[in-house]
């Protein structure tokens, strides 16, 4: 798979297990969103193995990260947040979580679409 704006290693599980089962369609949508946003994305979290996900106090057992359908994008500035959100929406994402330091985006087919939440 060829991505214009990302390297697959950006989405590897951070625990060191080297797992990375990101879904191709999700990554292509995210690459398109990055194009629309016209600003860089720094990925805080992509794929998570089950052990790593379980070690995180705020992560849910049903996290879309463990299925390869989610990413957290670093963001601490309101202007950049608006650019990133605009690109994600234009690319067709309909599941967004907004935190003080990141934006969660997922395209999990097992979860309800058309939602935005805050952390």
**0.85 surpassed by pTM:** yes
Q: How far apart are CA 66 and CA 32, in angstroms?
A: 22
* The pLDDT value given to residue 58: 72
Q: What is the CA radius of gyration of the chain?
A: 13
* The pLDDT value given to residue 76: 94
* The pLDDT value given to residue 1: 74
Classify 74 as helix, strand or coil. Answer: strand
Q: What is the pLDDT along the chain (119 residues), one digit of tens a residue?
A: 789 999 999 999 999 998 999 999 999 999 999 999 999 999 999 999 999 998 987 777 889 999 999 999 999 999 999 999 999 999 999 999 999 999 999 999 999 999 999 99
Q: DSSP per residue over 50-64, as a string?
A: HHHHHH-TT--TT-G
Q: How far apart are CA 21 and CA 116, in angstroms?
A: 25
């Amino acid at each position: 798979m060829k991505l214009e704006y990302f390297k697959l290693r950006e989405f590897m599980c951070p625990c060191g297990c080297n797992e990375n089962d990101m879904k191709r369609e999700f990554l292509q949508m995210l690459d398109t969103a990055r194009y629309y946003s016209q600003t860089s994305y720094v990925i805080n979290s992509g794929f998570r193995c089950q052990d790593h996900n379980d070690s995180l106090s705020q992560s849910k057992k049903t996290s879309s990260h463990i299925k390869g359908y989610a990413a957290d994008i670093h963001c601490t500035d309101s202007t950049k947040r608006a650019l990133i959100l605009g690109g994600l929406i234009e690319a067709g994402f309909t599941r967004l979580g907004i935190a003080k330091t990141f934006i969660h985006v997922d395209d999990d087919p097992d979860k309800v679409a058309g939602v935005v939440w805050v952390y």
